[in-house]
Amino acid sequence: MEKMKYKRIFGLVLDSVGTGAADDAKNFGDEGSDTLGHVGEAYKGMLKIPNLQKLSISNIRENTIEGVAAEEEPLASFGKMKEISVGKDSMDGHWEMMELPVVQKLSFFPNGFPQELLDKLTEFSGRNIVGNRPESGTKIIEELGEHQLETGDLIVYTSGDSVIQIAANEAIIPVEELYRICEYARSLVNGPEYTVGRIIARPYIGKTKDTFTRTANRHDFALKPTGKTVMDYLQEDGFKTIGVGKINDIFSKQGIDEGYHNESNMDGMDHVDHVMAEDFTGFCFINLVDFDAMYGHRRNPIGFGQALMDFDVRLGTVIENMKQDDLLMITADHGNDPTFKGSDHTRENVPLLVYSPQNKKSVNLGTRKTFSDFGATILDNFGVQGEDRGTSFLDNLE
Ligand SMILES: O=P(O)(O)O[C@H]1O[C@H](CO)[C@@H](O)[C@H]1O
Ligand SMILES: [Mn+2]
Ligand SMILES: [Mn+2]
């Protein structure tokens, strides 16, 4: 293939690592949110992310991240991306990156779920339902977990996203049973009346409210992609597609040849190291979810910063291991400012860092009009025709 500039492309999504309120943040009540900026402020100059810094994480911003200087000679090309999908959840963000922006109306449940849905869940599972409101997942198990241990009731809750989340103590509702209930819930909300982005199984362990801990058996049952994605088109043309972490759930495995489940960010980076040692031609799409699930939603800026610093060390290894014809693109799927009100995602622009050892220059890629530019660039590289919903920046990279 004559045009193929890069043989392997690694797309690395730092889940929820946004870089400042998007211009439509007001519509979401998210004006003033800035995940990276506020994590930097919480660290008062002590946030040490030298590899992200080298790649130019502060160069993309109007004000640099505290303690992280803008580089004079950055290693990567850099920019930001703006989201056009109607929501600010992981599914919206990742689908849009793969040229499938979510423009249909999804169902949200700010006042709890409709009774008919709850009745069906009870009938299927033989269990009563408690919760039934938007809430933080760790708060709701603290509140209702002991009740669940006594009664076996299901804890069903939502958030600002289009989600039905079901929390279940593994000791009393086995994970397999929980998954079956979630699959059933999935079948109820694929439209047209209710169209829900994700059903999320939230298993946890522990005997008392102070010791309840969620486990890595979390599983997301997303809406099936409503059309073809960049990964489908790559696969059809014989290029290899690999999903690491939540990617597999978010696309219901559609368009993915080889998938890896992550136990944590560090486990995810182990998978990345493993995949990098393989010889393939194609695209590896990676999601690291701890930033979001463990620190963003928990509104814990110190934990968030530590996760960034831990990731940064592993990023150093990735950079060292990259081959001449590899391309690394680092971005995020939405924001989740750990200093913001509430516990929901925040509508932010996301960083875009694009690095290859073969590139000689650092180019400012500006603010991309849609996350789909990410996928368009991948297709352009491999000479594959897709939906043309984004603008490739391949030719900007030198
Ligand atoms: O509070 P927890 O259970 O982590 O849930 C959060 O995780 C979901 C998926 O990102 C979000 O919609 C938010 O509700
Ligand atoms: Mn996400
Ligand atoms: Mn989240």
Q: Provide the domain limits for residue 167.
A: 115-222
pLDDT at residue 105 in the model:
86
Q: Do 37 and 161 lie in a common domain?
A: no
Q: Do 151 and 272 lie in a common domain?
A: no
pLDDT at residue 104 in the model:
86
pLDDT tens readout for residues 307-326: 999 999 999 999 999 999 99
Residue nearest to atom 13 of ligand 1 (CA): 159
Q: Do 305 and 381 lie in a common domain?
A: yes
CATH number at residue 215: 3.30.70.1250
Q: What percentage of residues in the chain have a pLDDT greater than 90?
A: 98
Q: Do 201 and 244 lie in a common domain?
A: no
Q: Do 361 and 374 lie in a common domain?
A: yes
| Shortest-distance ligand to the CA of residue 202 | 1
CATH number at residue 14: 3.40.720.10
Distance from the CA of 198 to the center of ligand 2, in angstroms? 12
The DSSP result for 140-174, as a single string, is HHHHHHHHHHHH--EEEEE-SSSEEEEEEETTTS-
The tally of domains found in the chain comes to 2
Enumerate residues 6+ apart whose C-beta is below 8 A from 279.
Answer: none
pLDDT, the chain, mean: 97
Distance from the CA of 117 to the center of ligand 2, in angstroms? 26
24 is in an annotated binding site: no
What is this structure's pTM? Answer: 0.95
Separation CA 134–CA 132 (nearest Å): 7
Q: Do 230 and 89 lie in a common domain?
A: yes
179, 198, 222 — which closes off a domain? 222
222, 250, 266 — which closes off a domain? 222
38 is in an annotated binding site: no
337 is in an annotated binding site: no
Amino acid at 277: A
Q: Is residue 110 part of a domain?
A: no
pLDDT tens readout for residues 13-69: 999 999 999 999 999 999 999 999 999 999 999 999 999 999 999 999 999 999 999
Mean pLDDT, rounded, for 138-144: 98
Taking alpha carbons only, the member of 31, 12, 13 closest to residue 347 is 31
Q: Do 305 and 243 lie in a common domain?
A: yes
222, 237, 257 — which closes off a domain? 222
Does the structure show a pLDDT above 80 at 2?
A: no
Mean pLDDT, rounded, for 224-252: 97
Does the structure show a pLDDT above 80 at 1?
A: no
Is residue 144 within 8 Å of residue 155, measured between CB atoms?
Answer: yes
Q: Do 91 and 141 lie in a common domain?
A: no
Say if ligand 1 is within 6 A of residue 300 CB: no
Say if ligand 1 is within 6 A of residue 250 CB: no
Say if ligand 1 is within 6 A of residue 166 CB: no
Q: Do 359 and 234 lie in a common domain?
A: yes
34 is in an annotated binding site: no
Does the structure show a pLDDT above 80 at 220?
A: yes
pLDDT tens readout for residues 339-394: 999 999 999 999 999 999 999 999 999 999 999 999 999 999 999 999 999 999 99
pLDDT tens readout for residues 186-212: 999 999 999 999 999 999 999 999 999
